[in-house]
Structure 1
Amino acid sequence: MSFDWEDLFPLVTVRKLVRDVSDHNPLLLSSGAKKNTSHQHEFRFELSWLRDDNFYPTAKRIWDQPVRADDPIDILNIKLKWLKKYFKGWGSNVF
Structure 2
Amino acid sequence: PYHKIIDGSLAQETVLTFDSKLLEGTFLQPLAVFIDEEIYIVESKFNEVTDGKWLVNIEGKISIKDLTRIPVGMVKVVGTNASFECLLTDIIVLAKCKRVFTKNV
Higher helix share: 1
Task: State the TM-score, normalizing by the size of structure 1.
Answer: 0.26
Task: State the TM-score, normalizing by the size of structure 2.
Answer: 0.24
Q: Over alpha carbons, which structure has the higher Rg?
A: 1
